[in-house]
Amino acid sequence: MGRGSDMHGQCLFIIVFFIHAVHVLPGCIAQSSDEQTLLAFKAAISGDPNGVLDSWVTTKGSMNATDSICRWRGVSCRSRQHPGRVTSLELMSSNLMGVISPSLANLSFLHTLNLSGNRLTGGIPSELGQLPCIRVISLGGNSLIGNIPVSLTNCARLTHLELPRNGLHGEIPANFSNCRELRVFNISANSLSGGIPASFGSLSKLEFLGLHRSNLTGGIPPSLGNMSSLLAFDASENSNLGGIIPDMLGRLTKLNFLRLAFSGLGGAIPVSLYNISSLIVLDLGNNDLSGMLPPDFGITLPRIQFLNLYNCRLQGSIPPSIGNATKLRRIQLQSNGLQGIVPPDIGRLKYLDKLNLQFNQLEDKWDKDWPLMAALGNCSRLFALSLSSNKFQGDMPASLVNLTFGIEKIFMNENRISGAIPPEIGKFRNLDVLALADNELKGTIPDTIGGLHRMTGLDVSGNNISGEIPPMLVANLSKLAFLDLSENDLEGSIPESFERMSSIAILDLSYNRFSGMLPKQVLSLSSLTLFLNLSHNTFSGPIPSEVGRLSSLGVLDLSNNRLSGEIPQALAGCQSMEYLFLQGNQLGGRIPQSLVSLKGLQHLDMAQNNLSGAIPDFFATFQYLRYLNLSYNRLDGPVPTTGVFNDTKDFFVGGNRVCGGVSELQLPKCPDRAGKGSHRSRTVLIVSVSVGSFVALVLIAGAIFVCVLKPMKQVMQSNETSPRPLLMEQHWKLSYAELHRATNGFSAANLISVGSFGSVYKGVVGSEEEEVAIKVLNPLQHGAERSFLAECEALRSVRHRNLVNVITACSTVDHNGNDFKALVYEFMPNRDLDKWLHPTIDDDDDESSSRVLTMSERLRIALDVAEALDYLHRHGQVPIVHCDLKPSNVLLDNDMVAHVGDFGLSRFVLGTNNNSIQYSSISAGIKGTVGYIPPEYGMGGEISMEGDIYSYGILLLEMFTAKRPTDDMFQGSRSIRSYVATAYPDRAMEIVDQAMLRLKEKDMFEKKIEGCIMSVLRVALQCTEDSPRARMLTGDVIRELISVRNTYDD
């Protein structure tokens, strides 16, 4: 009996064991499979600086719950039916580097894959399309390249596909319309091609469609109006999208967010859009649209908060019903053709914080007070008010002082506002910009403005203001960077308190009646770096030696005063001077030999003085000097014949006692002992387009404050009796018509390139038919308003032979009355370095496609770029970080001298704190171009000089291997750096550009050539170390490359 009982118990145990095994073993096997998949994913990760995957250690088949992969960081197992199976992998913003392993396709129960905000490279594995349960794929904010896999359209349960901010290309697969469950589709900020698939109209559950800045073309399909669940649609900044706005979009009755700005759209704005009562954001700005605001739009859009219809060619008036849209916060209707009065009903908008109506044809007349201004006093959150360039007429409204105390910006330029500036304006303690230029104001400047400690810009030029400058006007304005009091009736001397303006970069006191000695306190301001104009006053006496302290000043105009004495030797300290105007004074003596140090001069006018002695021949060596006027002085002796002296369109010497010169001057012959020029022929410099120089001149010419700084009237004028070159005569004043002619109507045949800031055209200007590049800007580019002071501080000292520079600017309106801003640069026929390193069949008309750069040329270019970086990093008043160094931003002049372009604010974000410049975090998005971005930027690190060094190192590797860092051979953990590092030093000669080696430029020993190449590659590898602290400094790079160049040239 006992034995039978034991047998029965043993049988029962075996049965239970097998039952348990049947249920447990498949789960263990499955979990083991998921573990292998995750470990394969980890193996493809080449960098994990935060140790996110440290917990991912093999369980070695253990069934202990504490060893479960479900406890690994970022891994979740939430399936009740299939316990222990991986259902989500979420490792967002973990700074992971490497590629996405195709093995993830083996996670058969995975429904969420979120790897966004890392530093992953390579392509999106097509195998992900095999995931049967996948619902969410989020891979945005990486450096992924390649096409969007068509296989993803097989994911029938997919609800979220988020791939923004990568380097993806190719077309959007049309078969995503098969993913009927899609709710979010976001591929913004990629480099795609093709159009928006019309089949997307069948995605009835889609709520968010993000196509922002994706290079799409082909227009907006009307079928998108069938997406009945759509809440947000963003196709903005696709500049070549084209077409019209389909009326069908008006059927999107749930739409909250519609943004189509900067997309090349045309035609009329569909009235149906104004009937989408759910709209919160309507942004159609900067398109070639037309239409009117419906009379009842404030009623039909009750939820609207952001109304951005700037530069849309709107006509008609602003309806009073706008006051019914009580949730409005931003109204941006600038640069249109709006007429009539601005309805005081706007005063009912209690949440309004920004009102921009500038550059329209709005009008209003008032006797005692302006109803609009009185109404705006009710808008307690208003911080920015822009009414410039309209037809408002009347005395300065008393109700201006009733605006909210928090007002920060007031723009009322170019109207017909009269009366005096009220002293009560001093109560606006947060005011940082006050622009009242080109009105009919009278009276004096109230000294209460001196209490506005946050002010960065003040412009009251072009009025009838009289009296003296209040002594305390600027005494406490330590942040003031821009001050324009020109073209008024001011008199007296300049207050001593001007010496306290520690941040001033632009100062214009011209065309007044100031007298006395030139103010030493102004000439001692080292912060003056862009522009100082004291011309057309009655200043007398000598030029103080303190002028030499303006070491970073670009433009100095002391013309048409009563200055006497000699030109001070100290002027030689102005090493950054580009434009110097001394004409129309009583200066005597010789032209100082010390001016030989002003090698960056482009324009020098000393006409109508009493200068004597010989003409210094060192002017002939100034390679940038393109205008020299010495006429009507007492100069004698021979005239040099080289450099600027060889061009009678740019050099004027009439009214002196000189001889010789080129025959076109028709001067008398010199005696036999006349000097013979032995200088080199003048190099015709052709300078290319730079986004960084572009921003600096925009600061000067008008886009700093949009319309704060008017075109600088007669700043570049010389005396009326002297001939003058066309470009300088029109400096700051080139008309739209002239640029329209120069580019054949901005024709496609003249189009050079299209960028985020505008389009660049090739043109011919002036009677001398000078070739130029003309960049037509989008001054109202969508984005956060940049700090004027930060821009000014960052760019004010950017002047160097290896940085591109600008000629002139145009700030006006086009034939349709729309705001028009352009920059004019000299044109570079040798184009950019990228075209030389990677010629294409499309370049068969260019030298860069028919010959290979020699090693000596590459060394010189590398050294030029290093010196440009060294200047930006170390020799300006503040460090400038380029943030996008690559071959296409290195431009070559006629002598193959390299000029770095596209530096500064296009990819550099600055903040100010106690007048210091700080690099802001780039966590909102990687700054730069895929392949050249330093690894720390992808980790949310700050922009740094070391980041530029990394990009420079990649550029060096590309120059000497002729391989792009984004070539297909560089996939996964293999990069251009690892490719070179693996071969260095034993096989280095195998991976350098063989076409360069075949040139046999010099009769040199092979070992010597190899030694030079090894040195260059060593520099490149040191510059591209993962640790920023381990990278070389620019000074060390320059010393190394100079040594290599000298060795190679010996």
Tell me which residues are annotated as active site: 884
User: Can you say whether residue 272 is alpha, beta or left, with left for phi > 0 and alpha for psi between -120 and 50 degrees?
Assistant: alpha
The residue to which tokens 């460090």 are assigned = 879
- Contact indicator for 332, 312 with CB cutoff of 8 Å: no
- Contact indicator for 743, 750 with CB cutoff of 8 Å: yes
Cis peptide bond prior to 319, omega within 30° of 0: no
- Contact indicator for 175, 196 with CB cutoff of 8 Å: no
| Phi then psi dihedrals of residue 393, to 5 deg | -140, 130
Q: Which residues of 495-532 are buried (b: 16+ CB within 10 A; e: fewer)?
A: bebbbbbebbbbbbbbbbebeeebbbbbbbbebbbbbb
The residue to which tokens 């009838």 are assigned = 464
For the record, the structure tokens of 305 come out as 């908060």
CA distance 141 to 937: 11
CA distance 374 to 363: 16
E strand intervals along 300-381: 306-308, 314-315, 330-332, 339-340, 354-356, 361-365
CA distance 547 to 549: 5
The DSSP element (H or E) to which 740 belongs, if any, is: helix 736-742
For the record, the structure tokens of 918 come out as 């700080």
- Contact indicator for 729, 610 with CB cutoff of 8 Å: no
Within a 10 A sphere around the Cβ of 844, how many other Cβ atoms?
Answer: 9
Cα 620 to chain center, whole Å? 36
In DSSP terms, which residues pair with 289 in a beta bridge? 267
- C-alpha radius of gyration, the chain, whole number: 33
Which residues touch 19 (CB under 8 Å, ≥6 apart)?
none
Separation in Å, CA 196 to CA 201, 233, 916: 10, 12, 46
Helix (H, G, I), strand (E, B) or coil at 45: strand
- Contact indicator for 677, 620 with CB cutoff of 8 Å: yes
1010: number of CA atoms within 13 Å, CB side? 11
| Position 991, amino acid | I
The residue to which tokens 């010393």 are assigned = 1039
